[in-house]
């Protein structure tokens, strides 16, 4: 059984877990504007933005966790804060105190940095962690459900571990963590023209080794991954906002509107104006 300490934060409440027990898993249920939690380095954190955006900051980078999404993080000290009034949930603790389930495959026990939409089973498991503290002893007896939910959400990453360099499971996990650090930096700044040397420094690899290893594991270079994210973001901005095409071009890191339009048409076979016009016509047809 894993000891659990629960914390409840009200509007503008702040919590620094640096001063809390390192022998327990901490469950933070926050409700209200201005709540924030500081998590020490070398801890793992599983956060869920329930109904409002949650801001995360680590290693000099800040990014938003959108409502309905969750993130598992273990790449350095973390600051979580909410600017809006709706609630959010965070489970955090040193790696060694995270509950040990018994998955079929040993690789599934490896907790990897990951973000995605929260599944129904993982949401239930996180809520069960909160309720287990409220209804009984301060120990966690829902470990199998929690860890199984995480393992299912990370299944795609676990499937790629065999492509990672390393003779042992620990070394393959280390390789994957380094590559995920690079991909996270790209996700945080999809419009930034990433510098290969800076990305390689993040992974503690040489530039050539980073390109080779990233392609080996994910089937694309970091720059191809960044281009895919920019393309996806361009479609979202064109169809879901009223930003001008010039503003979208600048937001995505293009030097000019014409450069963005050329790249967009090369990728999608249509101009940004055509895509936006088509997006606007769809609601009218539905009506």
For residue 261, the model assigns a pLDDT of 93
> Residues 173, 191: one domain?
yes
| pTM, 2 dp | 0.81
For residue 57, the model assigns a pLDDT of 94
> Residues 59, 187: one domain?
no
> Residues 10, 151: one domain?
yes
pLDDT of 10 strictly over 60: yes
Give percent of the chain with pLDDT exceeding 70. Answer: 87
For residue 139, the model assigns a pLDDT of 53
131-140, 174-183, 266-275: lowest mean pLDDT where?
A: 131-140
> Residues 92, 200: one domain?
no
Concatenated DSSP letters for 203-263?
HTS-HHHHHHHHHHHHSS-HHHHHHHHHHHHHHHHHHH----HHHHHHHTT-SSHHHHHHH
For residue 285, the model assigns a pLDDT of 46
pLDDT tens digit sequence for 156-202: 888 899 999 888 888 998 999 999 999 998 988 766 667 889 999 99
pLDDT tens digit sequence for 21-43: 898 889 999 998 899 999 999 89
pLDDT tens digit sequence for 52-109: 889 999 988 899 998 999 999 988 899 999 988 888 999 999 988 887 544 445 444 5
> Residues 187, 155: one domain?
no
For residue 253, the model assigns a pLDDT of 84
- The whole-angstrom separation of Cα 224 and Cα 270 is 20
> Residues 258, 221: one domain?
yes
**Any idea what the CATH number is for the domain that residue 103 is in?**
2.60.120.280
Q: Which of 144, 161, 178 is the last residue of a domain?
A: 161
> Residues 25, 141: one domain?
yes
> Residues 30, 79: one domain?
yes
pLDDT tens digit sequence for 109-130: 567 888 889 999 999 989 888 8
Q: Which of 141, 161, 181 is the last residue of a domain?
A: 161
Q: Which of 104, 138, 161 is the last residue of a domain?
A: 161
Number of domain units in the chain: 2
> Residues 115, 196: one domain?
no
Q: Which residues contact 78 (CB under 8 A, 6 or more apart)?
A: 38, 39, 43, 45, 56, 57, 58
For residue 84, the model assigns a pLDDT of 83
pLDDT tens digit sequence for 210-255: 999 999 999 999 999 998 989 988 998 888 888 999 999 988 888 8
Q: Which domain holds residue 16?
A: 2-161
Reported confidence tier of residue 50, pLDDT bands at 50, 70, 90: very high
pLDDT of 131 strictly over 50: yes
For residue 77, the model assigns a pLDDT of 94
For residue 51, the model assigns a pLDDT of 86
> Residues 127, 242: one domain?
no
**Any idea what the CATH number is for the domain that residue 250 is in?**
1.10.10.60
> Residues 137, 212: one domain?
no
> Residues 14, 152: one domain?
yes
Alpha-carbon dihedral sign for residues 234, 239, 240, 244: positive
């Amino acid at each position: 059984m894993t000891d659990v300490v629960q914390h409840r934060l009200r509007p503008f409440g702040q919590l620094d877990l640096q001063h809390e027990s390192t022998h327990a898993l901490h469950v933070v249920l926050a409700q209200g504007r201005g709540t924030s939690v500081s998590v020490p380095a070398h801890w793992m954190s599983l956060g869920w933005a329930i109904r409002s955006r949650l801001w995360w900051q680590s290693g000099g980078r800040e990014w938003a966790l959108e409502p309905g999404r969750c993130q598992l993080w273990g790449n350095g000290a973390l600051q979580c804060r909410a600017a809006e009034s709706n609630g959010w949930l965070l489970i955090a603790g040193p790696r060694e105190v995270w509950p040990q389930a018994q998955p079929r495959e040993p690789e599934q026990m490896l907790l990897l940095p990951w973000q995605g939409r929260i599944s129904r089973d993982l949401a239930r498991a996180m809520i069960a962690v909160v309720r287990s503290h409220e209804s009984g002893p301060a120990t966690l007896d829902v470990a199998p459900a929690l860890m199984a939910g995480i393992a299912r959400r990370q299944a795609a990453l676990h499937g790629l571990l065999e492509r990672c360099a390393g003779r042992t499971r620990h070394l393959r996990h280390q390789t994957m963590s380094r590559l995920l650090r690079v991909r996270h930096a790209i996700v945080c700044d999809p419009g930034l023209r990433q510098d290969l040397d800076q990305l390689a420094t993040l992974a503690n690899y040489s530039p050539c080794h980073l390109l080779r290893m990233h392609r080996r594991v994910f089937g694309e270079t970091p720059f191809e991954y960044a281009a895919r994210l920019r393309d996806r973001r361009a479609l979202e901005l064109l169809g879901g906002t009223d930003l001008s095409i010039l503003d979208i071009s600048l937001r995505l890191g293009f030097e000019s509107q014409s450069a963005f339009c050329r790249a967009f048409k090369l990728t999608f076979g249509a101009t940004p104006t055509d895509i936006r016009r088509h997006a606007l016509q769809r609601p009218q047809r539905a009506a």
